[in-house]
Amino acid sequence: MTNKEVLQIALEQSALDLNCAPGDFLKDGNVVVSSVIGEQARKYYREPVTANLVTYGNNIVASVKEEVREIVEEYIRTFEFYHCFETPNMHWLSDRLLPLGHRVCFMAEYYLPDVENLPERSCGYELRLLGPEEFQGLYREEWSNALCKDRKELDVCGVGAYDGETLIGMAGASADCASMWQIGVDVLPAYRRRGIASAMTVRLAREILKRGKVPFYCSAWSNIRSVRNAVKSGFLPAWVELTVKPIDFVEKMNRTEPSGG
């Protein structure tokens, strides 16, 4: 699989996610389409989604509910496309969405592998290929990036790092859609900064490609540790997303239960 083929597969999947055409992400001008989450969209795209703005570095494709279409169109017309994913411009958008009951919720950067730069890495610990049968009993907090207990059926393979028989790190692949598998990584705190994360990530990426799927990686911009791992492992920034959700959804995410006394 070539880098050109990897990008094309990603564009096709993003088109399924946003209800647009793959070529829309490569146009000079912005594109606005009606929001529809189809059966082939990534599994973590779930209603309610008010709007989703995506750029692959050329323009913005915005998938929107009709009630916010005019606001989003004005927003992406007012600011240069890459500034639409930055503050203070996002306050412009959020302030106008609030009276309608919506606000900016998620922001993330996504990475694709440079298939010409995925050399095997050594970390000094044994790496083992894992399958769903080995995941039982591992759905715990320390492996919550590598595995997802709410979508266990999507966890298809992984790579574990072992100190003797002790699992010290894990990279897991989630079959979030038919053609692309997402990589999540965890390393126990005492074993960090030893190259374990990148060794597992590269090994898993190569395994995913061997199975005919495209590995992808997601990180918040502020998670420098994760970003460094992506780059060190041969992944490069490919696209970014900004998602608008109803206010009650955002407030529910931010709500914390008081601790018992």
- 3-state SS, residue 59: coil
- 3-state SS, residue 255: coil
- Would you state the pLDDT for residue 221? 87
**Which of these, 27, 13, 18, lies nearest to 57 by C-alpha position?**
27
Which region holds residue 159: left if phi is over 0, alpha if psi is between -120 and 50, else beta? beta
Distances in Å between the Cα of 103 and the Cα atoms of 100, 109, 114, 116, 130 are: 9, 19, 35, 40, 40
Contact present, 73 and 29 (Cβ < 8 Å): no
Tell me: the pLDDT tens digits for 200-227?
999 999 999 999 999 999 999 899 999 9
Distances in Å between the Cα of 100 and the Cα atoms of 92, 95, 174 are: 14, 10, 35
Any idea of the CA torsion for 56, 35, 144, 175, to the nearest 10 degrees? -80
For the residues of 148-184, what is the DSSP string, one character each? Answer: -GGGGGGEEEEEEEEETTEEEEEEEEE--SSSEEEEE
**Which of these, 96, 69, 102, lies nearest to 248 by C-alpha position?**
102
- Would you state the pLDDT for residue 256? 58
pTM, entire model: 0.93
CA distance 79 to 214: 33
Q: What is the mean pLDDT of each run of 10 residues along the chain (261 residues)?
A: 97 98 98 95 94 98 98 97 94 97 96 95 96 95 96 97 98 98 98 97 98 96 94 97 96 68 32
- Would you state the pLDDT for residue 179? 98
Tell me which amino acid residue 178 is: A
Tell me which amino acid residue 23 is: G
